[in-house]
Amino acid sequence: MRSSKRLGIMIGGCSLLITILMLVGIGYAIKDQLFPSVSAQPQVTALPEQTAEKNQLRIVAIGDSLTKGVGDSAGGGYVKQVVDSLAADPDKQAELVNNLGISGLRADQLAQNLKTDKGIAYALQQANVILLTIGGNDLFQSLQGVGDSNAAATAEQSMSLAQVEKGLEEGLTRLDNVLSELHRINPDARVIYMGLYNPFFDVEELRDGSLEVQKWNERAYDMLHGYSNMTMVPTFDLFEERIGSYLSSDHFHPNHEGYKQIAQRVVQAL
């Protein structure tokens, strides 16, 4: 009788222990569902960084004869030197999609091309970097050739600083139109604009042209500042003290070394 009672107690105790263990297990299971630990959270697989895409530079160059590379005895101008320099960087991949430079192009002509030429618009839409040179012809087209020895005698006659001053406001309005059109065509691309320099700094009668160039650059900077993706690369200081070293024989366009200096500034900006 006593042994049967003792057996019943043991069985009851075991049942109670099993019940307690089951309740504890259920409690832990519920806890994991209601209050998951950090390690129990779903593991989100990190997407691979788009390193190649992010660093892939698809470049379109557009503008005047500086974009075309006039004056560079080696050919290619600053555009080719920029692409070559970027391509040498293992962390970047650079591709020149198109060079749309046109010698003698003014800002009003470029703005019109941007509005009407679907081929140009398509090329620009393929880029994530747009290199732009424009404005030199708007200010100085009437003075090209003044620095040549054959034209030196007509310097005072051709010296149209009054014309340059008169054309400043009109030229800047044209530039504003160019920037607006570029933004319309490709609002996401990085736009690098080359500031102007005075190619006639060493011609005494035209030295004061630097004042107008500075005004242009200051106003251009203000315009570019209105767009988060646009940057101006200064070139004025490069040429002012080294005209003889950096200009080609036409006394207007950079030579190979001059373009190299511009290219280095562009690469730094990128």
Domain count, the chain: 2
Distances from the Cα of 77 to the Cα of 55, 70, 99, 217, 259, angstroms:
23, 7, 11, 22, 6
Residue 54 in this model has a pLDDT that exceeds 80: no
The CATH number assigned to the domain holding 70 equals: 3.40.50.1110
Q: What is the pLDDT of residues 91-145, one digit of tens each?
A: 888 999 999 999 999 999 999 999 999 999 999 999 999 999 999 999 887 555 4
Task: Domain of residue 10: give its range.
Answer: 2-40
Residues 40-67 have a mean pLDDT of 64
The 3-state secondary structure of 66-101, one letter per residue:
HHHCCCCCCCCHHHHHHHHHHHCCCCCEEEEEEEEE
**202 and 77, same structural domain?**
yes
pLDDT of 44: 29
Specify if 45 maps to a domain.
no
Higher per-residue confidence, 253 vs 37: 253
Per residue in 58-77, pLDDT tens?
999 999 999 999 999 998 89
Q: What's the CA gap between 236 and 247, in Å, rounded?
A: 13
Q: What is the chain's length?
A: 270
213 and 111, same structural domain? yes
Q: Is residue 249 part of a domain?
A: yes
pLDDT of residue 188: 96
224 shares a domain with 112: yes
- Residue 198 within a domain: yes
